[in-house]
Amino acid sequence: MAGLLGIILQRLLLGIATLFAVSIIIFVAVNALPGDFAQSILGQGATPEAVEAIRNQLGLNESPPTRYFKWLLGAVQGDLGIPMSQALFQSFTGSSTGGDVVTVFDQIIPRLKNTMFLAGVSAAISVPLAVTLGILTALFRNTAFDKAMNVSTLSAISSPEFFLAYILILFLAVLNPVFPSLSNIFPGMEFGDRLNKTMLPALTLTLAVTAQMMRMTRAAIINLLASPYIEMARLKGLSPMRVIVKHALPNALAPIITVVALNLAYLVTGVVVVEVVFVYPGIGQLFVDSVKIRDIPVVQACCLIFAAVYILLNLTADVLSIISNPRLRHPK
Amino acid sequence: MSQISRRSLLKTGVAAGVLSATGLPLRAQAKKGGRLRLGIAGANTSDSWDGRTHSDSYMIMCAHGAVFDCLTEIGADGQLKGELAESWEASADAKTWTFKLRQGVTFHNGKAFGADDVIESLGMHTAEGAKSAAKPIISAITEMKKINDHEIQMTLEAGNADFPFLLSDYHILMFPAGQVDEAIAKGIGTGLYQVETFDPGVRFVGKRFPNHYKGDNAGHFDEVEVIAINDSSARMNALMTGQVDAVNRVDVKTEALLKANPMVTIMEVTGNQHFTFPMLTANAPFDNMNVRKALKHGINREELVNKILQGHGQVANDHPIGPANQYYAADLEQNSYDPDKSKFYLKEAGLDSLSVDLSAANAAFPGAVDAAQLYQASAKSGGININVVQEPDDGYWSNVWLKKSWCACYWSGRATEDWMFSSAYEAGVPWNDTGWENARFQELLLAARAELDSAKRREQYTEMQSLMSKEGGTVVPMYANYVDAHSSKLTNSGTTGNVFQMDSSRFMERWWFA
C-alpha cells in the first residue's frame, strides 16, 4: 500500500502545480479580453474619469504581474479576495459599511452546493443507467436493441447541450407539463420540490454524459468476452448474463471507473450552458455573470474549483482502478 | 383631471388622493390577494438595496417598484403626483421649493418617516466619495432646511421648474435616517412590499406591508416573487409554461409565439427609449450642416422600425424627446427618406458624393449592426457611401462611443426634457455625444429650466426639438417600445405607464389577479 500512498502524494503535488498553471492561464486570458471591470460595470456611463477612479480604487492600474502575485499571495493563504463588484459597492456608499464584507468564498459556496446537488442527481441517474445499458448492449450486441441504443445515445451526445435542453423543455414542460422549465431552487426548499425543479437540467446532463460511459462499458466487456477464461465460463454452461456480470465485469472495472470519473467531473464543470438555460443558481451561472463583468477574483476562483474537481476525480479514478486490479495492487 | 391647469400642477403639487377624487375610474375593482411571480432580466450578483448603484431593470423594479418610495411619483397617466411628499410649492423663480411630507408613514422596521429621513437620504448622493448617478440632481441643492418634522425647504443654485419631477428618479429612494447602512443591507424602506428574502442575482421575495399609506389603491398582491432570468429564451419559456406570471423585455423575434398563446398578453408602450447615430460635429465632414442634413434624409426610418424592431417602435425625428415626455412636439415636420434631398444637400455642401465610416456593435442596441447595414443600403441612392465598421461589443462605450466620429448608440430617455437635454446635448457636458454647441439652443435650455409657465415652456421645448431635428448632429431613426408580457389572469386600471418597462417599473404596485 506504500506504493499507492506515494502515487497519491505525487499526484496531489502535480495537481497543485496544475492549479498554479491554470491560474496563470486564466489570469492572462481574462486580461486579454477587450474591456475591463471598470468599463463593463459603467457601460454607457464610462467617462474617462469614472473609469480611472474605479481602476485606481480596485488597483486595476497596477501592472498585471503585480496584480497576479498579489492575488497569488492571498490565494496560498486561503484568501481568494473580495469580488470586484462588492469592493466597488463598498466604495459607492462613500464610507465602508463595515462588518459584512462579501468575500469570493461567500459568493461561491452556496452556488457550489447547488451545482453539487445537480451533479449528484445527474450522476444518480446517469451512472446506473449507462452501466446497465452498457452491460445489456454487450449482452445483446449487434442486435436491433444494441443498435438502437447506440444510435440514440450517440445522437444525444452529438447534439449541443442547449439543444437537448430545449428539446426536453418542449416535450416535458410545454407539450406535457411534467417538470418545470425553470429551476429556480433556493435554500430552505423541500427536498421533493427541489428534486422536481432539478429534474430537467439533470436529464439534460444525463443525455450528455450517458453515451460515453455506456459505450466504454460495452467495449470493455466485449473486449474481455474473447478471453479464454470467459470461454471456460461459457463452456461450464453459465448463462450469458452471469458470465458478463460475475466474470467479465470485475475485470472491466478499471476502464469503466476512469470514464465514470471523467464524466462526473464534466457534470460539475460542464454545467455552464445548462445552468443558464434553466436559470439554475449554480456556479456555472455565477461564472458566466462574472466573466461578463470581468470580475477576475470570482472568475479565478471558479476556474480553480473546476480544475480542482478534475484533478481530484482523476486521482480518485486512478486510485480506484489500482484497487480494483489485484495485479496493480500487489506489484512484483 | 384636465381642469387642473398644467401651470398650477407644476408650481404646486397636490396629493394623489385629491387628484383621484376628481375622477380616476376603475380603482374600486382591484381584487386583493394572491402571489405574483415575475421573471425579470437585468439582475446581477452585485445587486444591493443601495439606490445609488441601481442601473438595471431588476433592482429598479424591486427597490423603486416595491420596497422603497421616492418623494414624488409619475403616475401611470404620466402626471406627477406625491408619493412620500404630500404637496409642494415653488418660489416665483423656481429656486426655493417647500415640500410637505405625508404624515403617519412608517418604515418596515417601525420607524416613523419624517424630514430627517429626507435630508439624510438626499445627502447620501453627495457624500464624500459616493458615486451616485443622481449626484447632478442633488448637488444642485444648496440648502436643505427642516421647517418641522413634516415640512422641508430646499434651495437650488439655479431655478429648476422640473425639480419635483427629478425627485421621482429611481435612484433617489428614501432611507431611514441613522439606519442607512442597515437599511441598505436588509432593504428597509416605506414601500408596499417588505423584504422576506433577497438573494442578489437570483431572487427577491416580498410580503405586502400591512397598513401601508397607499391603502387599497395599490399593492394588491399578498406576496411577490421576482425571479432573476437574464436569459431571454428561459424567460419566455417560464411565462409560456406558467412558471411566472409576467416577464419583462420580450424578445421581439419570438413575440409571435407568445401572442399565439391565449394565456399570455403582450404589454407594449412607446416611451422615451430611442436609438441614435450620433456624429461628432467637431470632426469633418460632420461639421458641415449640409452633410448632416444629407445623412438625415438618407435613412429609411419605417424600414428600420419594421425590420430591426419588428414593428415594435415608432419613427423618430432626430431629437431625443419622446412620446412619454410632457412637451413632446408630435407635429414637427418629419425628416423622411428622400435620396433627392440627400443629393441636394450634398451639392449645397459642394460635394458630388460622400464616403463616411459608421461604427456599430450590437452593444449599442440590439440589431445595431443590421441597422447600420440597412442605412448603408438606403443612403447609397442619395450619393452617400457608408462604410459600416463592426466594432467589438466589449468596451464599446469606452472605446467607440464619444471617440469615433460616427457610431451607433441608445438612450433610455429621461422623464423631463431638461434632464434629457442637459444629460447629452448641453454645451460641454461629458455625455454630449455629438459635441453639439448651439447658442440659441443653450439659451433656450437655461430659460426653459427656470420657467414655471407651462405654455411658454412648451414653446421653448418645441423650438429646441425643431432645432435639433433640423440642424443637430444626431440621427434618431426610432423610438423602441417597451415590450413586456403577462399572464391573461392579470389586469390593471387600463392605463399603463410608459416611463420604463413593466408599467414604469410599478407592476407589483398597480396590477392584480382578475
- pLDDT, tens digit, 9 for 90 and up, residues B37-69: 999 998 888 888 999 888 889 999 999 999 999
Any CB–CB contact under 8 A between A192 and chain B?
no
Gap between the Cα atoms of B53 and A27, Å rounded:
27
**C-alpha distance from A5 to closest chain B C-alpha (Å):** 42
Q: Which three cell numbers stand for residue B374?
A: 440597412
CATH of the domain at A135: 1.10.3720.10
Q: Which of A259, A289, A20, A48 is nearest to B228 (CA)?
A: A289
For CA atoms A278, A281, A284, A289, give the dihedral sign: positive
Position B14 scores a pLDDT of 47
Give B417's contacts (C-beta < 8 A, 6+ positions apart): B321, B325, B326, B327, B448, B461, B464
Residue A104 lies in a domain: no
Question: What confidence tens digit (pLDDT) does each residue in A279-291 have?
Answer: 999 999 899 888 8
Gap between the Cα atoms of B251 and B151, Å rounded:
46
Residue A113 and residue A26 share a domain: no
Alpha helices by DSSP H, B191-254: 232-240
Residue A116 and residue A88 share a domain: no
Phi and psi at residue A43, in whole multiples of 5°? 55, -130
Question: What confidence tens digit (pLDDT) does each residue in B197-248 have?
Answer: 999 889 999 999 998 999 888 999 999 999 999 888 889 989 998 999 999 9
Question: Could you tell me how many helices (H) and strands (E) chain B has, helices first?
Answer: 19, 22
The more confidently predicted of residues A43 and B192 is: B192
Q: Give contacts of A182 with chain B, Cβ < 8 Å.
A: 39, 227, 229, 234, 237-238, 241, 243-244
Residue A98 lies in a domain: no
Over residues B168-182, mean pLDDT: 93
Residue A217 lies in a domain: yes
Q: Beta partners for B475?
A: B277
* Residue B27 confidence (pLDDT) above 70: no
Residue A191 and residue A129 share a domain: yes
What pLDDT band is residue B88 in, cutting at 50, 70 and 90?
A: very high
Best A30, A49, A85, A93 residue to mutate vs chain B (most B CBs within 10 Å)? A93
Any CB–CB contact under 8 A between A5 and chain B?
no
Residue A169 and residue A289 share a domain: yes
Residue A222 and residue A312 share a domain: yes
Contact criterion met (CB below 8 Å) for B299 and B375: yes
Q: Beta partners for B98?
A: B89, B153
Any CB–CB contact under 8 A between A94 and chain B?
yes
Over residues B180-205, mean pLDDT: 93
Position A2 scores a pLDDT of 64
Gap between the Cα atoms of B224 and B35, Å rounded:
6
Q: Which residues, numbered 348 to 407 in chain B, qualify as contacts with chain A under a Cβ-Cβ cut-off of 8 Å?
A: 392, 394-395, 397-399, 401
Residue B354 and residue B340 share a domain: yes
A277/B128 CB distance under 8 A: no
Position B12 scores a pLDDT of 56
Helices A104-139 and A249-269, interaxial angle, to 10°?
150
Residue B290 and residue B162 share a domain: no
CATH of the domain at B513: 3.40.190.10
Residue B295 and residue B444 share a domain: yes
Position A56 scores a pLDDT of 82
A174/B55 CB distance under 8 A: no
Position B160 scores a pLDDT of 93
User: What is the overall mean pLDDT for chain A?
Assistant: 86
* Residue B409 confidence (pLDDT) above 70: yes
Grid-cell match 439543444, residue found? A163
What pTM was computed for the model?
Answer: 0.86
Q: Which residues, numbered 427 to 456 in chain B, qualify as contacts with chain A under a Cβ-Cβ cut-off of 8 Å?
A: 430-431
Q: How many domains does chain B have?
A: 3
Most confident of A92-96, A175-179, B367-371: B367-371
Any CB–CB contact under 8 A between B128 and chain A?
yes
DSSP secondary-structure letter at B283? S
Question: What confidence tens digit (pLDDT) does each residue in A283-317 have?
Answer: 998 998 888 888 888 988 998 889 889 888 988 88
Percent of chain B with pLDDT over 70: 95
Give A21's contacts (C-beta < 8 A, 6+ positions apart): none
Contact criterion met (CB below 8 Å) for B85 and B72: yes
Residue A101 lies in a domain: no
Q: Beta partners for B278?
A: B474
Position B394 scores a pLDDT of 78
Residue A117 and residue A86 share a domain: no
Position B193 scores a pLDDT of 97
Phi and psi at residue B246, in whole multiples of 5°? -160, 150
Alpha helices by DSSP H, B261-412: 289-296, 301-307, 339-348, 368-380, 396-399
Angle, CA of A122, A125 and A131, to the nearest 5° = 120
Grid-cell match 439533470, residue found? A202
Domain that holds residue B491: 31-38+198-270+483-514
Residue B149 lies in a domain: yes
Gap between the Cα atoms of A134 and A219, Å rounded:
8
User: What is the overall mean pLDDT for chain B?
Assistant: 90
Residue B259 and residue B178 share a domain: no
Contact criterion met (CB below 8 Å) for A182 and B242: no
CATH of the domain at B312: 3.10.105.10
Q: Beta partners for B484?
A: B267
Residue A314 and residue A171 share a domain: yes
Q: Is the peptide bond before B285 cis (omega within 30 degrees of 0)?
A: yes
Domain that holds residue A72: 14-92
* Residue B420 confidence (pLDDT) above 80: yes
A39/B201 CB distance under 8 A: no
Over residues A169-173, mean pLDDT: 92
Percent of chain A with pLDDT over 90: 35
Any CB–CB contact under 8 A between B240 and chain A?
yes
Residue A125 and residue A36 share a domain: no
Residue B318 lies in a domain: yes
Position B428 scores a pLDDT of 81
Residue A135 and residue A84 share a domain: no
In this structure, the number of other CB atoms found within 10 A of the CB of residue B496 comes to 20
* Residue A91 confidence (pLDDT) above 60: no
Phi and psi at residue A73, in whole multiples of 5°? -55, -45
Residue B169 lies in a domain: yes
Give B6's contacts (C-beta < 8 A, 6+ positions apart): B326, B454
Q: Which three cell numbers stand for residue B329?
A: 412636439
Residue A230 lies in a domain: yes
Phi and psi at residue B322, in whole multiples of 5°? -110, 175
Give A313's contacts (C-beta < 8 A, 6+ positions apart): A261, A262, A264, A265
Any CB–CB contact under 8 A between B131 and chain A?
yes
Q: Which 3 state secondary structure label does DSSP give B112?
A: strand
What region does A297 belong to: left with phi over 0, alpha with psi -120 to 50, or beta?
Answer: alpha
Q: Which of B373, B377, B435 is nearest to B405 (CA)?
A: B435
Residue A188 and residue A150 share a domain: yes
Q: Domain end: A32, A67, A92, which one?
A: A92
In this structure, the number of other CB atoms found within 10 A of the CB of residue B360 comes to 27
Residue B87 lies in a domain: yes
Q: Which three cell numbers stand for residue B252?
A: 421581439
Gap between the Cα atoms of B126 and A71, Å rounded:
33
Over residues B408-428, mean pLDDT: 89
A182/B44 CB distance under 8 A: no
How many residues can be counted in chain B? 514
Q: Beta partners for B81?
A: B73
Residue in chain A lying closest to B401 (CA): A44
Q: Which three cell numbers stand for residue A132?
A: 446497465
Position B16 scores a pLDDT of 41
DSSP secondary-structure letter at B481? P
Any CB–CB contact under 8 A between A66 and chain B?
no
What pLDDT band is residue A113 in, cutting at 50, 70 and 90?
A: very high
Position A1 scores a pLDDT of 56
Contact criterion met (CB below 8 Å) for B458 and B327: yes
* Residue A79 confidence (pLDDT) above 50: yes
Contact criterion met (CB below 8 Å) for A47 and A41: no
B397/A43 CB distance under 8 A: yes
Over residues A224-237, mean pLDDT: 90
Buried b (16+ CB within 10 A) or exposed e, A213-227: bbbbbbbbbbebbee
Residue A325 lies in a domain: yes
Residue B138 and residue B203 share a domain: no
Q: Which contiguous run of DSSP H or E holds residue A242?
A: helix A240-242
DSSP secondary-structure letter at B115? H
Residue B211 and residue B151 share a domain: no
Residue B216 and residue B182 share a domain: no
Residue B393 lies in a domain: yes
Over residues B389-404, mean pLDDT: 87
Q: How many domains does chain A have?
A: 2
Q: Which 3 state secondary structure label does DSSP give B156?
A: strand
Give B489's contacts (C-beta < 8 A, 6+ positions apart): B245, B263, B513, B514
Q: Which of A260, A176, A163, A178 is nearest to A217 (CA)?
A: A260
Q: Domain end: A92, A122, A149, which one?
A: A92
Q: Give contacts of B430 with chain A, Cβ < 8 Å.
A: 47, 49
Q: Domain end: A59, A92, A125, which one?
A: A92
Residue B57 lies in a domain: no
Residue B308 and residue B374 share a domain: yes
Residue A99 lies in a domain: no
Burial class (CB in 10 A: 0-12, 13-18, 19+), A288: middle
Gap between the Cα atoms of B231 and B501, Å rounded:
17
Residue B94 and residue B225 share a domain: no
Residue B213 and residue B159 share a domain: no
Residue B284 and residue B402 share a domain: yes
Best B46, B273, B399 residue to mutate vs chain A (most A CBs within 10 Å)? B46
Residue B185 lies in a domain: yes
Residue A324 and residue A221 share a domain: yes
Residue A122 and residue A71 share a domain: no
Residue B206 and residue B328 share a domain: no
Gap between the Cα atoms of B323 and B268, Å rounded:
13
Residue A5 lies in a domain: no
Q: Which three cell numbers stand for residue B198?
A: 433577497
Q: Which of B361, B356, B354 is nearest to B387 (CA)?
A: B356
Q: Which of B422, B411, B419, B414 is nearest to B476 (CA)?
A: B411
